[in-house]
Amino acid sequence: MSSEMLKNLDIFVRARYPIIYITTFEEGRADDYLIKIGRSRNKKVISWSQTRGLMPAGTGHQNAKSIAEGSGDPMCALDYVMNSHEPAIFIFHDFHPFLNDSSVIRRLREISIAIKESFKTLVLVSPVLKIPCELEKDINVVDFPMPSLSDMAALLNKMISDISDNRDIKISIADDERELILQALLGLTISEAENVIAKALVKNGALNAASIGVILSEKEQIIRKSNLLEYYNTSENIDDVGGLDSLKHWLNLRKQAFSEKARNFGLPSPRGILMLGVQGCGKSLCAKAVSALWQIPLLRLDMGKIFSSLIGSSEENIRRAVKVAESIAPAILWIDEIDKGFNGMNSGNSDAGTSSRVFGTFLTWMQEKKSPVFVIATANNISLLPPELLRKGRFDEIFFVDLPEAPERAEIFKIHLKKREIPCESFDMKAIVEASEGFSGAEIEQAIIASLFEAFYKNEGLKCEFLLKALEQTVPLSKTMKEEIDSLRSWAASRAVMASRPVDAVEGARPKRRLEF
Ligand SMILES: Nc1ncnc2c1ncn2[C@@H]1O[C@H](COP(=O)(O)OP(=O)(O)OP(=O)(O)O)[C@@H](O)[C@H]1O
Ligand SMILES: [Mg+2]
């Protein structure tokens, strides 16, 4: 049990906060904390659910009788809370569906005023955070942490002792392996962890070093299922990225930054970078390549899903996502197209409040995070990003990823031709590079694919002329979106580091480089 959490909750109860809201899937664990506090403060702890009504908390028995007739009804239960005189903690499970009802809301407001003078506390425990605006000032939200290493250790000990008389199962774990197993369990809820350990036991008939692999792959599944984060298995390598030398150099310098050695040397963990730039120039590609370069897992955070009401409340979603990322740190948290996520904030529509709260939660976390979670955010549209995000200190660096210059385009061509095992020594690279002026990496790749179609159709090998034709037939985004790209460039000129080699940026225009082949 996290002593800090216990202390926090205890303070809320002693300070007579009338209504506390705990957002968690783990109501059993939340109940345990509250029962402990109730015991130490000599208060009754009574739990409520719609199906069982009011009961002494911790009563597992399905047929146990409710302490108040008809208290499955939310209004009836709230009346009981209002009228009871004993010092007590009332835990209401899954009350969020009733927070639409105006009489329930009103009753809660009255309770919040009335019980300030009493020794009663009302705690709402639910996986969904939902606070009607009438109650915003009356309810205090408590952040409920994921199970800690010591919670996991207690669970593991209990499970080992439960199976100690089973001769078919062998337990042979050295201290360091035990530590690894516990680490691997972080990021899961207690019941998920219990299932994972059980599966490892059943699968191997033992708990040993081999169990770590089983636990990690199960955990990957569970994180996938959570739907907010995606474990990215990257095949991309930093050598697959053409150009962007200064960004690659920055990343290379920090290759060992999360190691024990770096910590002993006194280096802080890098916090994160924002890659801002033109579409299709390799931002997402770089994010994937960093994971391979640094050998740490990549978790992609889906902003769309954070805001999707289908999964839960947006704020809770982002909290849960960063908690999971922290629990498996060192890790990279990749927030692709962050500008799209914060779109709602500037629009002044009904979603603006939620967006700015989600954003606030994220910024606070960025500011305060101690765990080695490296954030890689990418964005195309600077005007959608709130200025607070760009303030110094949030990210280690803001990189501007511009359209590739001639030598970079040559590199990109070579990378993609090589990937497809196409010999290009005989190609007129100078002509190709000139014909692709203003093309992004993605457009270069697409032109290669188009020319391959032609070669395939004609039943020939890829010829330079096919490639030149495909380039000629493409209208690059840099033409259709010239104004947007120019304004992005001039914004970035004074505020961001160029991801390519340093350029003497002039508003809207860049000096031409001499070609070298
Ligand atoms: N610098 C590059 N080197 C090699 N390939 C590149 C480069 N830039 C883009 N590509 C190719 O184009 C594809 C798309 O690029 P990517 O998704 O990284 O662009 P992006 O900058 O994230 O674009 P968007 O802003 O639209 O998300 C890559 O998967 C890669 O195949
Ligand atoms: Mg992208």
Last residue of a domain, one of 378, 400, 422: 400
Domain assignment present for 62: yes
Atom number of ligand 1 nearest to Cα 411: 3
Atom number of ligand 1 nearest to Cα 243: 1
Could you tell me the distance, in angstroms and rounded to a whole number, from the CA of residue 360 to the centre of ligand 2? 24
Q: pLDDT tens for the chain, 517 residues: list them.
A: 667 778 888 988 888 888 999 988 888 889 999 999 999 999 999 999 999 999 998 876 666 778 888 889 999 999 999 999 899 999 999 999 999 999 999 999 999 998 888 899 999 999 887 888 889 888 988 878 778 888 889 999 988 888 877 777 777 777 777 887 887 787 788 888 999 888 888 887 888 878 888 887 887 777 777 677 888 767 788 999 999 999 999 999 998 888 778 888 888 889 999 999 999 999 999 999 998 888 888 999 887 777 765 555 777 778 878 888 887 778 899 998 888 776 655 555 556 677 777 788 888 888 888 888 999 999 988 887 888 888 877 899 999 999 999 999 999 999 999 999 888 888 899 999 999 999 999 999 999 999 999 999 988 888 889 999 999 999 999 889 998 899 889 888 888 889 997 544 333 444 444 445 4
Q: Whose CA is nearest to atom 30 of ligand 1?
A: 442
Tell me, yes or no, whether 164 and 42 share the same domain: no
The residue segments making up the domain with residue 340 are: 232-239+254-400
CB distance 72 to 52 below 8 Å: yes
Strands 373-379 and 331-335, sheet pairing? parallel
Whose tokens are 């009011």? That residue is: 54
Q: Whose CA is nearest to atom 16 of ligand 1?
A: 282
Whose tokens are 């959570």? That residue is: 226
Burial class from Cβ neighbours inside 10 Å (0-12, 13-18, 19+) for residue 86 reads exposed
Domain assignment present for 356: yes
CB distance 369 to 331 below 8 Å: no
Q: Whose CA is nearest to atom 26 of ligand 1?
A: 279
CATH of the domain at 429: 1.10.8.60
Domain assignment present for 513: no
Domain assignment present for 277: yes
Could you tell me the distance, in angstroms and rounded to a whole number, from the CA of residue 265 to the centre of ligand 1? 35
Residue 469's contacts (CB-CB under 8 Å, 6 or more residues apart) are: 451, 454
CB distance 192 to 231 below 8 Å: no
Amino acid at 103: S
Could you tell me the distance, in angstroms and rounded to a whole number, from the CA of residue 283 to the centre of ligand 1? 6
Atom number of ligand 1 nearest to Cα 275: 21
Last residue of a domain, one of 339, 373, 400: 400
SS3 for 334?
A: strand
Measured from the CB, is residue 280 less than 6 Å from ligand 1?
Answer: yes
Domain assignment present for 364: yes
Tell me, yes or no, whether 338 and 445 share the same domain: no
Measured from the CB, is residue 283 less than 6 Å from ligand 1?
Answer: yes
Residue 178's contacts (CB-CB under 8 Å, 6 or more residues apart) are: 156
Residue 91 phi, psi (nearest 5): -105, 115
How far is the C-alpha of 111 from the C-alpha of 95, rounded, in Å?
A: 15
Domain assignment present for 319: yes
Could you tell me the distance, in angstroms and rounded to a whole number, from the CA of residue 285 to the centre of ligand 1? 5
Atom number of ligand 1 nearest to Cα 244: 1
Domain assignment present for 437: yes
Last residue of a domain, one of 117, 142, 167: 142
Q: Output the six-digit token pair for 416.
A: 């993609």
Measured from the CB, is residue 445 less than 6 Å from ligand 1?
Answer: yes
Measured from the CB, is residue 282 less than 6 Å from ligand 1?
Answer: yes
Could you tell me the distance, in angstroms and rounded to a whole number, from the CA of residue 416 to the centre of ligand 1? 11
CB distance 2 to 30 below 8 Å: no
Tell me, yes or no, whether 348 and 429 share the same domain: no
Atom number of ligand 1 nearest to Cα 241: 3
Tell me, yes or no, whether 395 and 262 share the same domain: yes
Which ligand is the nearest neighbour of the Cα of 417? 1
Tell me, yes or no, whether 268 and 329 share the same domain: yes
How far is the C-alpha of 506 from the C-alpha of 510, rounded, in Å?
A: 6
Whose tokens are 């009871």? That residue is: 84
Domain assignment present for 422: yes
How far is the C-alpha of 207 from the C-alpha of 505, rounded, in Å?
A: 60
Measured from the CB, is residue 407 less than 6 Å from ligand 1?
Answer: no
Tell me, yes or no, whether 120 and 55 share the same domain: yes
User: Does the pTM of the predicted model rise above 0.75?
Assistant: no
The DSSP letter of residue 146 is P
Tell me, yes or no, whether 167 and 42 share the same domain: no
CB distance 34 to 91 below 8 Å: yes
CB distance 307 to 316 below 8 Å: no
How far is the C-alpha of 344 from the C-alpha of 359, rounded, in Å?
A: 11
CB distance 170 to 206 below 8 Å: yes
Measured from the CB, is residue 297 less than 6 Å from ligand 1?
Answer: no
CB distance 200 to 163 below 8 Å: no
CB distance 341 to 335 below 8 Å: yes
Amino acid at 294: W
Tell me, yes or no, whether 125 and 89 share the same domain: yes
Tell me, yes or no, whether 212 and 328 share the same domain: no
